[in-house]
Structure 1
Amino acid sequence: MQGVARNFFTLAIVYALIGMGLGIDMAISQDHTQMPTHAHVMVAGWLMSSVFAFFYHLFPAAAASALAKLHFWLAAVSGILLMAGLYLLLAGNEAMEAMTAVGSIGFYAAMALFAFIALRTVYRPA
């Protein structure tokens, strides 16, 4: 695994460790206020980044494109904004709503870009 696939897989592992750590912290403290953040980190972070990684691993031509690199950076930066913003927002910092919204919209754009890349790749005539 190399390039964009490796980058997404590394990001997925980081998200998994953060999400699981947050889950353990909630269990120990019996405070489940951050459950939405935990769910976003595990699904949007760990799961989606893993899917992206394996897609790009299976389709190296798609991974070599400039769009794939743009997809990685858009997903990585917006995902971090989304997860950090959501964590801080749920911790009571209402000023983080804008950051969470920007991250959310950016992450949606990253998914739309992935849909374009993936569908164009799998429906390309053989």
Structure 2
Amino acid sequence: MQGVARNFFILALVYAIWGMLLGLAMAISHDHTQMPVHAHTLVAGFLTSAIFAFFYHLFPAARTSRLALVHFWLTTISGIILLVSLYFVLAGNPAIEPVTAISSLGFFAAMLLFAWIALPVVRKG
């Protein structure tokens, strides 16, 4: 893997480890308050990043675009802020909720950007 494909794959691994550690911590403590963060980490973080990694690996022309790099950084920054802020919101800090909302919109924008990048590539076959 090269370029953003490699970056997304590494990011996926980080999310997988973090999400599993959070799951283990919840199981050990019998406190499942952070279940939504656990689920978001594994689905929105690990799964989408892995899918992005394999897309860019399978379609090398797409990863050479500057938009691919923007896609990586928008996904990374908004995703990490989303998960960290959601953790604090669920820990009883509702004042952080606007940060969670804004980062959610950033993560959604990253998905829209991925669709913009991927759909023409997939249509070409």
Report TM bin, short chain. Answer: over 0.9
After TM superposition, the score normalised by the length of structure 1 is: 0.97
Aligned match of 2:87:
87
Q: Distance in 1 between matches of 2:102 and 2:80?
A: 11
C-alpha distance in 2 between matches for 1:80 and 1:46: 12
In structure 2, the partner of 1:64 is 64
Aligned residue number for residue 38 of structure 2: 38
**Distance of 2:96 and 2:80 partners within structure 1:** 13
The offset of 1:95, in angstroms, is 1.5
For residue 74 of structure 2, what is the aligned residue in structure 1? 74
Output the CA distance in 2 between the equivalents of 1:96 and 1:56.
34
Q: Find the residue that maps to 2:74 and give its secondary structure.
A: helix
Counterpart residue number, 1:50: 50
Moved over 4 A (4+): none
Q: CA deviation at 1:102?
A: 1.0
Q: Could you say which residue in structure 2 is the equivalent of 1:114?
A: 114
Give the count of matched residue pairs: 125
Matched AA of 1:5: A
Q: Is contact 1:7-1:53 (8 Å) kept? A: yes
What are the ranges of 5 or more consecutive residues in structure 2 without an aligned counterpart? Answer: none
CA-based RMSD of the aligned residues comes to 0.8
How far is 1:94 from its partner? 1.0
Query: Structure 1 regions of 5+ residues with no counterpart?
Result: none
User: Within 1, Cα distance between the matches of 2:63 and 2:99?
Assistant: 29
Give the whole-Å Cα distance in 2 for the aligned partners of 1:68 and 1:89. Answer: 31
1:37 offset after TM fit, Å?
Answer: 0.3
* CA distance in structure 2 between the aligned counterparts of 1:75 and 1:18, rounded to whole angstroms: 17
Matching residue's letter, 2:94: E
Q: Identity rate of aligned residues, in percent?
A: 65
